[in-house]
Structure 1
Amino acid sequence: AKTTPEPLRFPTIITRAIIKGRRPWIPGGETMAFFNGGSRALVEILTRFQSAERPMPVDHTFFEFGSVRYHVQASASDPENVYLSISTPSLSHEASPSTGLPEFTLQEATKMYHKFAEVVEPSKEGYALTLKLNFSGLARPKDRARAVRQVSLLQSVILGSQLKHLLGSLGSSGATKLVYNHRDPFFVSRTPGKISAIFPMRFRDDTDLAVATSFFQELQDAGSSYARAPRCSWSAIPPPELRGEPVHHLTTNGGFVSFDIFERHVKRKRAAKTAWILLNFQAYVKYHIKVSLLHRSGPSERW
């Protein structure tokens, strides 16, 4: 018989990734895809290409989330090399130049994929980045499957590097709107001594809102228990940092969740972990609501 999963706790991510400096908790299976923005279509195309009995040509363009464009190309005469190109909007005007990708993003991609890919310069016309993939050096099928999953995270790698850089180079004042998911933008701003990450929260109905409000209270209580954790606060009205922002950006039914990020959270390896947490916070809240409601509607009707 199936068992109802227990609701997850976001403090797990906070304590492991920021307080203790450990690798962020990353769920597996379908949960992994829910958080990290991996492209399932890309996994399917690359897996099918690798498992083909005979070399097959590939020349495929597809879109995801309306504005992310991929192009996959390979020839039957050179089956070991697959060319993957991506075009994706930047998080903000401040996060990336108007043409191409900044050097720090190219370095991040090189570091992530150096075992089986190289950056092609210049990239394919009309795309921000092109990688030449070659999985022939990975003998074990599970290593190839892992590499394909890593490649499916390319958009997350690009945007994560932009956020990591942005957190370390924000101006002295003012808020910057960031768009990772077009339906759920968030803001970061720098004030003396800290960076604030502010999430306008929107929910589809009162049930989701009730679960989320209880969860936000948990976050506030958990944050106060750890001296080194980012302070979390929730407010029904926009915080002062968002004063002057357009009204339509600040219209919510779930208020605003804010995290105070200090310098120690954006130094060295912690910067990447902090960026990962911020990019996935809203997705995590939605997942928490989903699992909590499944738990409540189980056979025992327990909360």
Structure 2
Amino acid sequence: MTDRLGTTATWLLLASCAVVGLLLVAIIAVRVAADLRRRTQTARRTQALPVLMDVLDGHAVPVPRRRRDAAALAPAASDLVHKVRGADREVLAAWLTDGGFRDAALRAMRSPWAPRRAHAIELYLATTSGQEPGPVVAMLRDRHPRVRLAAVRALGDSGAHEAVPALVRAAGSRRRPVPASAVTMALVHAAPADASALRHVWTSGDPVLVTTALTICGHLGLVDARPQIEHLVRSPDPALRLRAVDALGRIGDPRSALPLRRALHTTPPGSIEWLALHRALAAVGVDQPRFAP
């Protein structure tokens, strides 16, 4: 009986070792394959760049006939489109569209595979010179978080002003949320000229959305949001008050001096908020605040 148990234990040990060995081999094989794929993609992008530069120089460059070579142009074009502006971006977009890349991107954005949809977003925007963001805006409601995040980043990088309201709604989505930090960066990159797209945020009651709006207005100096931000200086939420004070300081409008003075009068001296109020008052042109009776 003892010999039989010993034999069974030996076989189980050998089987376990074999399984572990197979797993290690599989992990190594996956890593090697991924590394080879990355190197291949990098090499193809490097080879594709001179072709795209010829396009920007105005040469009549035909789209490569080999599917593999044409596919290598897509990521290279997506990278390049963020590094060029004006006429160069439009030339590149027209060449990609004429070569069928826009249609290919739209098809890929309907793929059941999330990584493919995410990569296609960048290519589509490259073919439109950052315009016509409608299909990408729709991807803000995609079922996969990776695709939604790719859409947010791409819309911000492309500077699509008309996508700003949709980006704001995406930040406040409960069903399919996106990181507020990513939306904030996208909106800062998109650089809206005014705060009209944020008008529903101030009464939303969502502190994440309001914080996002305060950050954007402060960084971009959106003066038309001043009344709403001044109202938040009296918010019961200390974090929102601090953000509002910082935003007013960044905007630097002298009309904000009075609400900032009043807030300073009711703030404990030496506190973080008290110091922030002093900085904001200095920024709006009040170096020595004097309190109204």
Which protein is richer in helix relative to its size?
2
Q: TM-score w.r.t. structure 2 length? A: 0.27
Q: Choose between structure 1 and 2: higher strand proportion.
A: 1
For CA contacts below 8 A with separation 6 or more, give which structure has more relative contact order.
Answer: 1
